[in-house]
């Protein structure tokens, strides 16, 4: 850090800076006799706060500077080192200017310088840094790095921390070690909406605070009214539009502090305690109900630079896909103006810090009436699964073959090679089938009809004789053949039972002759 040697003469103080310029000043403390005349004073200043520290330390009454530093007869400070906003990428953050935060980076580059830090955090890296942004880190911060960040905040720097659903997703993340000392703890509870509104996924909670005459999905989500009052002010020092907005909203009968809507995608909840205070909550229609989702901390130092911390439970709320949804961009402008110290301040007394932790308690009375199973405590599984495989428990070895052969001699049993045992395969039985009985229907049974052969009734006589002839091809059955043929020809009525075959032939011949005689 550079040093500036100051010599205090009788009438003026000459301060020599690094660029060789000498500054004649008349400190007010000289008149009060705080510093003796002619004494050499040496003090340390940072690069970016060199002239500010000189001004606050000595309370300049008059400063003489070159003419080209003045413009329009206004007093302006010289800023040899430009303030910048740094995105940390040293812990494998998921959101940075090259991914998910490109729209946010373009918004910041319109008025300041943006830098990406890929190295280990150190005081040199945070020098000239006005705002440090950390979005969902995947690895741990070292204890020394956390100390550097806290020292940076105590020196007037601003810090913005963005997390994602489930809180600290990566087990290597230790953001709570950084925020716990300031009264902010990141929980692992995911915010979901309890009613459908515009967005499909329940984790994309729409927090809408509109005119009270309209139906609002989520109410009481804004704790600080300053957010609603400053939502239309751009991300610059211009603050002239606030009064215009207040007049417009008051004429319309709408509370300006409640006229804001934003989407909270894939976010988590926070635990806030004093001295930190809450900025936004999950509202009354999301689950968990009315829990902090954005919190801030501000140092009590008196001066232009006050260290500020902002913790937001969603990294996607200002991502490229969600920046233009609802009024997320206006909410982003308000929070960035607060971190950059652009005429935005919140009232810590209005930031509620008495939120109770929501714990799910089981219904003991209902569980007591259920069956009590025996819960056995399982042994913890080792990390290396190969240790569960035991090769010594089962194995095939030939080490004991000589001992087994020696047993034949001890028991006087002849040693013979094993013979093949013929297998006796049992005939498998057919698969069993369950005996089933058809059910007795309540319907009436079909009518009892006499069984008769339709072919016998409607078949031609010649066809019937041909079939009969095929059946009785043997001469031993000639008697039976003639009797059947008599029936087919219809001669049963003209014959008497017990006729001989000759008599049957005689009857057939007489019938044929009678048909031929005219």
Q: At what angle do helices 501-516 and 478-489 cross, to 10 degrees?
A: 30
pLDDT value for 133: 93
Write the pLDDT tens digit of every residue in 392-441: 766 677 888 889 889 988 999 888 887 888 877 777 777 777 777 777 77
For residues 89-114, one letter each, b for 16 or more C-beta atoms within 10 angstroms of the residue's C-beta and e for the rest, the string is bbbebbbbbeebbebbbebbeeeeeb
pLDDT value for 11: 39
CA distance 250 to 304: 32
List Cβ neighbours of 304 (8 Å cut-off, separation of 6 or more).
52, 341
Please give the backbone phi and psi of residue 402, each rounded to the nearest 5 degrees, phi first: -60, -35
Q: Is 344 exposed, middle or buried (0-12, 13-18, 19+ CB in 10 A)?
A: buried
Cα Rg of the chain, angstroms: 52
List Cβ neighbours of 448 (8 Å cut-off, separation of 6 or more).
none
- Residue closest to 25 by CA, chosen among 17, 38, 16, 15: 15
Q: Which residues of the chain register pLDDT less than 70?
A: 1-82, 166-172, 200, 204, 206-259, 302-304, 350-362, 374-376, 393-395, 493-497, 517-518
Write the pLDDT tens digit of every residue in 490-509: 877 666 667 788 888 888 88
CA distance 447 to 66: 129
Q: Considering the chain, what is the average pLDDT of its residues? A: 72
Q: Which residues pair with 190 in a beta bridge?
A: 268
CA distance 317 to 328: 7
DSSP H or E run through 55: helix 50-58
CA distance 130 to 117: 14
Cα–Cα distances (Å) from 462 to 165, 235, 456, 468, 469, in that order, read 97, 116, 12, 10, 10
- What the chain holds in terms of domains, given with CATH numbers, is 3-69 (no CATH), 84-339 (3.40.50), 454-516 (no CATH)
Give yes or no for a contact between 264 and 294, defined as CB atoms under 8 angstroms apart: no
pLDDT value for 18: 46
Eight-class DSSP state of 240: T
CA distance 134 to 174: 12
Cα–Cα distances (Å) from 338 to 49, 305, 342, 344, in that order, read 20, 12, 6, 5
pLDDT value for 457: 76
Complete DSSP assignment for 333-346: HHHHHHHTTSS---
CA distance 15 to 54: 9
- Residue closest to 510 by CA, chosen among 494, 497, 487, 498: 494
CA distance 455 to 73: 132
Give yes or no for a contact between 98 and 135, defined as CB atoms under 8 angstroms apart: no
Longest distance between any two alpha carbons in the chain, whole Å: 181
CA distance 407 to 386: 39
Angle at the Cα of 187 from the Cα atoms of 145 and 378, rounded to 5 degrees: 105
């Amino acid at each position: 850090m550079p040093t500036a040697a100051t010599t205090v003469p009788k009438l003026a103080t000459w301060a020599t800076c690094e660029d060789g310029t000498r500054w004649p000043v008349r400190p007010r403390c000289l008149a009060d006799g705080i510093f003796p005349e002619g004494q050499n004073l040496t003090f340390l200043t940072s690069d970016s706060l060199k002239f500010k520290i000189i001004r606050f330390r000595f309370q300049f009454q008059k400063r003489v500077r070159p003419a080209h530093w003045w413009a329009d007869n206004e007093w302006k400070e010289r800023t040899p080192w430009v303030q910048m906003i740094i995105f940390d990428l040293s812990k494998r953050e998921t959101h940075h200017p090259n991914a998910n935060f490109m729209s946010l980076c373009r918004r910041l580059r319109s008025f300041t310088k943006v830098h990406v830090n890929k190295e280990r955090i150190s005081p040199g890296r945070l020098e000239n840094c006005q705002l440090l942004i950390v979005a969902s880190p995947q690895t741990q911060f070292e204890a020394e790095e956390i100390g550097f960040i806290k020292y940076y905040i105590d020196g007037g720097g601003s810090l913005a921390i963005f997390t994602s659903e489930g809180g600290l997703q990566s087990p290597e993340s230790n953001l709570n070690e950084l925020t716990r000392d300031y009264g902010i703890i990141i929980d692992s509870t995911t915010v979901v909406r309890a009613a459908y509104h515009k967005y499909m996924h329940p984790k994309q909670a729409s927090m809408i605070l509109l005119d009270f005459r309209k139906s609002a999905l989520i109410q009481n989500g804004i704790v600080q009214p300053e957010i609603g009052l400053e939502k239309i002010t751009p991300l610059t020092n211009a603050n002239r539009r606030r009064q215009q907005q207040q007049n417009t909203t008051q004429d319309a009968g709408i509370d300006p502090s409640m006229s804001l809507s934003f989407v909270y995608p894939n976010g988590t909840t926070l635990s806030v305690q004093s001295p930190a205070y809450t900025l936004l909550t999950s509202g009354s229609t999301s689950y968990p109900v009315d829990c902090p989702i954005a919190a801030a901390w501000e140092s009590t130092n008196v001066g232009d630079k006050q260290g500020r911390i902002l913790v937001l439970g969603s990294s996607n709320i200002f991502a490229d896909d969600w920046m233009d949804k609802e009024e997320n961009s206006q909410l982003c402008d308000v929070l960035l103006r607060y971190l950059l110290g652009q005429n935005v301040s919140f009232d810590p007394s209005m930031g509620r810090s008495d939120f109770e932790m929501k714990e799910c308690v089981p219904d003991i009375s209902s569980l007591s009436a259920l069956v009590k199973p025996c819960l056995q405590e399982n042994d913890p599984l080792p990390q290396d699964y190969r240790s569960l495989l035991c090769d010594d428990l089962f194995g095939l070895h030939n080490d004991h073959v000589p001992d087994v052969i020696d047993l034949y001699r001890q028991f006087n049993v002849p040693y013979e090679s094993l013979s093949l045992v013929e297998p006796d395969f049992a005939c498998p039985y057919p698969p069993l089938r369950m005996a089933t009985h058809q059910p007795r229907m309540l319907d009436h049974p079909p009518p009892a009809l006499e069984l008769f052969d339709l072919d016998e009734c409607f078949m031609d006589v010649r066809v019937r004789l041909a079939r009969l002839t095929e059946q009785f091809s043997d001469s031993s059955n000639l008697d039976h053949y003639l009797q059947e043929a008599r029936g087919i020809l219809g001669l049963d009525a003209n014959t008497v039972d017990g006729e001989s075959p000759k008599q049957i032939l005689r009857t057939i011949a007489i019938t044929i002759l009678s048909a031929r005689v005219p």
